[in-house]
Structure 1
Amino acid sequence: MRIALFATCLVDGLVPDVGKATVRLLERLGHEVFVPPGQTCCGQMHINTGYGGQAVPIIRNHVEAFATADVVVTPSGSCAGSIRHQHADVVRAHGHPRLADAAAEAASRTYELSEFLVDVLGTTDVGAYFPHTVTYHPTCHSLRVLGVGDRPLRLLRAVRGIDLVELPAAESCCGFGGTFALKNADTSTAMLADKMSAVIQTGARVLTAGDASCLIHIGGGLSRLRSGVRTLHLAEILASTAGTDAEMKAVAR
């Protein structure tokens, strides 16, 4: 299967190890992965702040960049949610019916990482090894927009050596929400405080999630508290085997 990685602008610009881990994982499972050079942002920032018209050329670029892929996999529930539930509607609303059809077709080939592994490849055991205490935060878009359910947890439970502990009030938002954290800083900070308290309560040394944006938000707060809790994307844990980067990072920290 020829898989295209949609890295997302956040992963590409701030946490490239997440994209590398996704590629490493999929290749270990026997698949060819390529990264279309023309990819940029999915346009979610523009759409969610009311600039749908400005998102149209971004969506067109996205559709063209991934036109030749059998499937598109992204390590982001947020971006997958935008592609699947916003792209076609936005361009159709701005008078581009043919592009809307193409966007809908591209969306039908697009999967968040845990969805792809469980639903398309039919596997939960990806051969990972991560001997650390971990707790999982289900991000809002993956949970509420995509409905990934317990797929990430099923994958994590199959990781060898892991001690997976339940996160209290797991389904509560971390307070990031993209521009929400900027426009409603005080509320966002209060929500973050609740989430950090829950994470620390678990005694876990590692917090994982399927969206780098939420992990950056929570991780920044945990770092300022000197909590000793580190954040790793789900892809990094699933790609981990003995002595690999993510496994060693957790030990070194």
Structure 2
Amino acid sequence: MISVEERGSVPVVTIANGPVNVLDLETLRELTAVLVGLESAPALVVTGAGRAFSAGVDLKRLIEGGESYTREFLLELAGVFRAVFDHPRPIVAAVNGHAIAGGCVIAAGCDYRFMSAGTIGVTELLVGVPFPGAALEAIRFVTGPRTAALVLTGRTLKPADAAAVGLVDEVVAPDALLEAALARAEAFAAIPAASFTMTKRALRAEASRLMADGSVDEVIAAWNSRPVRAAIEGYVAGLASRS
């Protein structure tokens, strides 16, 4: 589900789970382990396989797995968000297609984001689930005062509009995406490691503190409540009827 390919000195981490790279428990665990294992890499690029970066949570697995799965999943999801956001080395996102909900949060946690296709946004409230605190701080870090409108409306944006609000830094053609991301990663890697890491830590200190202060238990209880689970089931049924 997660592959790592060395491109020169830069590992390219690719999310590959089904047609749109959904996030399930196993994918999250593997992604966290890969990121931890690359904490001494010069820099990283994170991308998605095929036509999507990541379409976010595997809602069908969430329904099928019940309350115990949901609890484990949300704990791992918060862990992935922190593993990306607090990673000591530079991470560049190559957003090759749709980056929705959790996929958007992973991209937002990176240090620099290129996007070439698809849409990006946080659609949690459209599904009917509360927005986790760790995810909120990652989005707020890059979109600032626009965060509330993005979160409350669940609006998804095409690349140029995403760049205008700070969700991505540069829009590039699909055939130039990976090379642009690698070039930026190599430029970051050329900075002395201690200098980059100390500066990154200082820039993100307040957001990281707020991520750590959030109550995951409260989020888990809400996602497992009867009204929220009914909303998830209704959303999935609506997707199935439109397909």
**Is TM more than 0.5 here?**
no
TM-score, structure 2 as length reference: 0.32
- With normalisation by structure 1, the TM-score equals 0.31
- Please tell me whether Structure 1 or Structure 2 has the larger radius of gyration of its CA atoms: 1
Structure with greater helix percent? 2
